[in-house]
């Protein structure tokens, strides 16, 4: 059903301009979006696959393409285009159109213009709780550069504004001396606990911004916000969310500022020494989505840049922007004690894919490992970029945990509409990730969500899409255990 992963969307190469901000404050409240959706499917006309709205009910959806989605006269890719709808456009649902090949469409009416037509169902999510965007004034989303300093400032502002629903703790210190924060949203003594972490790969810092804005959203609408008829206070009072918004603050800072903001003076030379090796393996290529992307060829014997037809070598500045590892050149997501000895990736410090000298050799890895054992968590969620995918399961998982991870992935899929991928297969032999370790060592379900469509670092133009897909997903998760 989902086709976003390989970029077969209606999206083209239009500039990311004039993206409308969501206008939810005018929308009528709708308390149980997911339930209504299920009801609506059960009343579909078996003849045509079409279904129409019941009297008096309004269901609103938000369009979430990376660029734009076509509003079409007919429910298929070839249908004449009436308009192009950008991320954040609110539409009223009129009916479902389920095609046999599972390219499902919704018949909708655009809220602002009143235009009616069909849109691909994969690019529309439930609008959910109608909120007032102007109430969210702490975490910025107008630019992609969300720094470690921004995060620290925002954490302090949020904790002092919402002390009864949000607390912070420093759970470790990075190689270059930055704090690793954990936030607890909800009641710290709640019956249930969930742990989420983002920013373990430096260049994927948009997810840190997403974690922070979601935290602000739930705090700001704690008493008014509703999911499935329950307030956020009720939901997070029963299930506390432990959020590590930036697991690898040094990596984020390297990707954003290069060597400029490093505290340890030797790091400039160290990063250049990584560059000197990696530059010989990095090639600027078109990826499966049709975007240019730097990719590694270190596994290919005798790979020489000049013979590959590559138009140019990566510069040092470009190299630093794609940095994923910590300040020791260790990829934290290959450093956990899960199949570590069998990881067959790079043997040198690098921007990515070096597993380190030993399992949990890095302070960032140890901080996450220790915090993951603090509570008996219901599940774990890791946020990465990019690909618009949800990975679940791991080779060596117990059957019962494979099942629970699969269920968790389906739950997220129903809400954020990314495709799911089972990683309990032969192709993913290199483990050492946080999600691998929590599944294998703690026997807990875990998913890894890959946000975004374009190569990292993601551009701010994708944020409206990512935000609207994810905004209510924590409430959905908390509701699951209620």
Residues that bind Zn ion in the complex, under the rule CB under 5 A: 201, 204, 384
Cα separation of 401 and 399, whole Å? 5
Nearer to Zn ion, 393 or 450 (CB): 450
Q: Please name the helix (run of DSSP H) or strand (run of DSSP E) that holds residue 400, with its range, or none.
A: helix 399-416
Nearer to Zn ion, 90 or 206 (CB): 206
Burial-class residue 459 by CB neighbours within 10 Å (0-12, 13-18, 19+): middle
Question: How far apart, in Å, are the Cα atoms of 323 and each of 353, 399, 450?
Answer: 11, 36, 17
Count CB-CB contacts under 10 A for residue 328.
22
Nearer to Zn ion, 228 or 289 (CB): 289
Cα separation of 121 and 101, whole Å? 13
Helix, coil or strand: residue 476: helix
C-alpha closest to that of 40 among 115, 120, 106, 128: 106
**Residue 82 CB, nearest distance to Zn ion (Å)?**
38
Nearer to Zn ion, 9 or 197 (CB): 197
Helix, coil or strand: residue 96: strand
**Residue 328 CB, nearest distance to Zn ion (Å)?**
17
**Residue 30 CB, nearest distance to Zn ion (Å)?**
34
Question: How far apart, in Å, are the Cα atoms of 448 and each of 295, 357, 420?
Answer: 21, 25, 10
**Residue 450 CB, nearest distance to Zn ion (Å)?**
7
Contact 248, 162 (CB under 8 A): no
**Residue 351 CB, nearest distance to Zn ion (Å)?**
12
Nearer to Zn ion, 72 or 453 (CB): 453
Strand partners of residue 282? 296
**Residue 298 CB, nearest distance to Zn ion (Å)?**
18
Nearer to Zn ion, 353 or 468 (CB): 353
Nearer to Zn ion, 384 or 395 (CB): 384
**Residue 352 CB, nearest distance to Zn ion (Å)?**
9
**Residue 391 CB, nearest distance to Zn ion (Å)?**
11
Nearer to Zn ion, 228 or 328 (CB): 328
C-alpha closest to that of 408 among 435, 390, 383: 390
Q: What is the three-state SS of 233-258?
A: HHHHHHEEEEEECCCCHHHHHHHHHC
**Residue 201 CB, nearest distance to Zn ion (Å)?**
3
Nearer to Zn ion, 40 or 247 (CB): 247
Question: How far apart, in Å, are the Cα atoms of 310 and each of 281, 295, 303, 417?
Answer: 11, 11, 11, 36
């Amino acid at each position: 059903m989902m086709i976003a992963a390989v970029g077969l969307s209606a999206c083209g190469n239009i500039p990311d301009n004039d993206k409308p901000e969501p206008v939810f404050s005018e929308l009528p409240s709708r308390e149980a979006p997911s339930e209504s959706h299920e009801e609506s499917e059960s009343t579909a006309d078996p003849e045509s696959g079409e279904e129409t709205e019941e009297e008096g009910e309004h269901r609103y959806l938000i369009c979430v393409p990376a660029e734009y989605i076509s509003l079409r006269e007919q429910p298929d890719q070839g249908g004449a285009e009436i308009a192009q709808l950008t991320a954040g456009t609110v539409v009223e649902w009129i009916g479902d159109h389920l095609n046999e090949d599972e390219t499902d469409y919704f018949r909708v009416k655009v809220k602002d213009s009143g235009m009616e037509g069909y849109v691909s169902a994969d690019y529309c999510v439930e609008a959910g709780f109608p909120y007032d965007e102007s109430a969210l004034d702490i975490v910025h989303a107008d630019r992609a550069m969300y720094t470690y300093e921004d995060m620290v400032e925002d954490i302090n502002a949020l904790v002092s504004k919402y002390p009864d629903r949000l607390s912070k703790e420093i759970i470790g210190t990075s190689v270059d001396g930055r704090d690793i924060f954990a936030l607890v949203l909800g009641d710290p003594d709640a019956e249930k606990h969930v742990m989420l972490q983002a920013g373990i790969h430096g260049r994927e810092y948009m997810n840190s911004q997403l974690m922070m804005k979601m935290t602000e959203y739930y705090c700001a609408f704690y008493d008014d916000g509703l999911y499935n008829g329950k307030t956020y206070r009720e939901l997070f009072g029963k299930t506390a969310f432990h959020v590590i918004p930036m697991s690898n603050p040094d990596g984020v800072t390297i990707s954003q500022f290069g060597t400029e903001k490093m505290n340890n003076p030797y790091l400039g030379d160290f990063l250049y020494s990584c560059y000197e090796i990696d530059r010989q393996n990095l090639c600027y290529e078109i990826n499966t989505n049709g975007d240019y992307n730097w990719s590694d060829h270190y596994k290919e014997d005798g790979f020489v840049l000049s013979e590959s037809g590559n138009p140019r070598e990566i510069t040092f500045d470009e190299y630093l922007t794609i940095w994923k590892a910590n300040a020791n050149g260790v990829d934290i997501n290959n450093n956990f004690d899960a199949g570590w000895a069998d990881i067959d990736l790079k043997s040198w410090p690098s921007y990515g894919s070096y597993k380190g000298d030993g399992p949990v050799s890095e302070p960032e890895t140890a901080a996450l490992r220790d915090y993951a054992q603090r509570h008996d968590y219901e599940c774990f969620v890791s946020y990465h970029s990019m690909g618009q995918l949800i990975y679940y399961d791991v080779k060596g998982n117990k059957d019962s945990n494979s099942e629970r991870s699969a269920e968790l992935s389906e739950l997220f899929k129903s809400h954020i509409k990314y495709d799911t991928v089972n990683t309990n297969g032969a192709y993913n032999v290199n483990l050492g990730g946080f999600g691998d370790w929590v599944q294998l060592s703690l026997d807990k379900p875990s998913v890894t969500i890959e946000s975004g469509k374009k190569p990292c670092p993601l551009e701010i133009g994708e944020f409206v899409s990512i935000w609207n897909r994810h905004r209510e997903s924590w409430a959905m998760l908390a509701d699951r255990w209620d």
